[in-house]
Structure 1
């Protein structure tokens, strides 16, 4: 699943920085509900707010700013208005649609149950495959990843995602489209 980058020696995602409305509620959700250790906390200079970091595994973090004068959230623009299978999941250009947190396939069902037990509203479980609908009700030989989606208290969409097969060059099969929806042939898929 790993490919070599000849330009930079990247080591994964250090952190993703989001904005929350209530840092205490964010701590309760990420630390207490999801079990992510709180790694670093900062009170920003002056009346700049706060910046907290949560460990999401492998040395990677999800971080939050709390800004005292931040605008209200904008579902359907900056974040999805609904979870997949429950409504419109699209967002604006440059927005953060969702964060997928990698988990083991063996723990997937256990973790879905744990979310429900902790009162987290979830989407349907999606077993992504190569069928015409690209999902199936059950895991099959063609399922490449399993997903379940949920919102944090600020409407940030999170996904628990479990790879179920090795991903290699054969999974790069589609040419990208440009801003007008036209396929740009030869940019990704060789002819």
Structure 2
């Protein structure tokens, strides 16, 4: 049996690197660990720290194909961020012009949550906990 110690990172490929970098660092407030330009690939890699552990790796690749981002499509469904107060987090995003869905309650866990999207339409969740 494998003995996982945790989740290290989630890798995302964006369509517009400066726009996505601003969203993840300024709008969401994630901290930059490292930023690397790879000339051979004409590609940026931005390592972002997620509070509580783990990282998001944000990549740019010229000509990367689009992928459906519907919450029920196969593949990655969404990324969820734990917040102490989902209403306050929702209000903070909306104050920055980010549309956020109404807050709901999970029928299985009784936890409150809501969804919003990154600049490429990737579903992101605020999960109260």
Query: Is the pair's TM-score, using the shorter chain for normalization, greater than 0.5?
Result: yes
2:128 maps to 1:150 = no
Q: CA deviation at 1:45?
A: 4.7
TM-score between the two structures when normalised by the length of structure 2? 0.89
The alpha-carbon deviation at position 144 of structure 1 amounts to: 2.3
Does residue 64 of the first structure (1) align with residue 52 of the second (2)? no
Paired residue for 2:127?
A: 161
The corresponding residue for 1:115 is 93
Q: Runs of 5+ in structure 2 lacking a partner?
A: none
Higher strand share: 2
SS at match of 2:128: strand
> What's the C-alpha RMSD, in Å, of the aligned pairs?
1.6
Unpaired stretches in structure 1, ≥5 consecutive residues: 1-6, 81-88, 131-142, 164-191
Larger radius of gyration between Structure 1 and Structure 2: 1
Shift of the alpha carbon at 1:124? 1.3
2:81 to 86, 101, 109: 101
More RCO (CA 8 Å, sep 6+)? 2
Corresponding residue of 1:40? 34
Q: Report how far residue 48 of structure 1 moved.
A: 4.2
How big is the shift at 1:26?
A: 1.0
Give every structure 1 segment of 4 or more consecutive aligned residues whose post-TM-superposition deviation is greater than 3 Å: none
